[in-house]
Amino acid sequence: VWRPGRGAPFVWIGRGRLVKGPVRTLALLACVPAAATGWCVSTAVDLRAKLLLAQANGEDDTIKLVRGTYLDGGNEFNFTSTEGFALVVNGGFDAGCTKTQQDPRLTILDGGGLTQVFSTDSHGSVAIRYLTIQNGRRDGSPLGKTVSR
């Protein structure tokens, strides 16, 4: 334990090594990767809200979709971000998002044949896994999604 007047504090970094602080401590903290945010989502309204939050929160994001059908209600699901952070949308989760079944038939984004279902324009990576995008329409053509970049 460091006490004032007893020299600089030390930081234990494993393998029996002590490092004299606080300058080196700051250097170690600067190497820690950015935090990631994860959400458990079970409604179309909540999915929209989490996509909006993920656009500008300054970190990688994971959205876990509970099994079921998410109707876009005539307004596509959208993720547009100029940040360089990743977005992952995974389907197939149980109600508490503790277990998943990697079967895309269990989680569906549905446009009802009226609108485009999902669009994205992002400077970071976007991964959409274990879900079905169906019944989309854009400019009179049956499409489910648009991906830019």
- The answer to whether 79 and 122 are in contact (CB under 8 A) is yes
Residue pair 21/10 in contact by the 8 Å Cβ criterion? yes
Which is higher by pLDDT, 1 or 128?
128
The percent helix, strand, coil of the chain (3-state, each to 5) is 15, 40, 45
Confidence of residue 144 (pLDDT cuts 50, 70, 90): low
Question: Where residue 29 falls among pLDDT bands split at 50, 70, 90?
Answer: very low
Q: Sorting pLDDT into bands at 50, 70 and 90, what band is 137?
A: confident
Q: What is the pLDDT of residue 35?
A: 64
Angular region, 4: left φ>0, alpha ψ -120 to 50, beta rest: beta
Per residue in 56-81, pLDDT tens? 999 999 999 999 999 999 999 999 99
Q: Cβ(51)–Cβ(58) under 8 Å?
A: no
Name the average pLDDT for the chain.
80
Q: In the prediction, which pLDDT does 27 show? A: 40
User: Which three-class secondary structure state does DSSP give residue 101?
Assistant: coil
* DSSP tag of 14: S
- For CA atoms 78, 104, 148, 33, the dihedral sign is positive
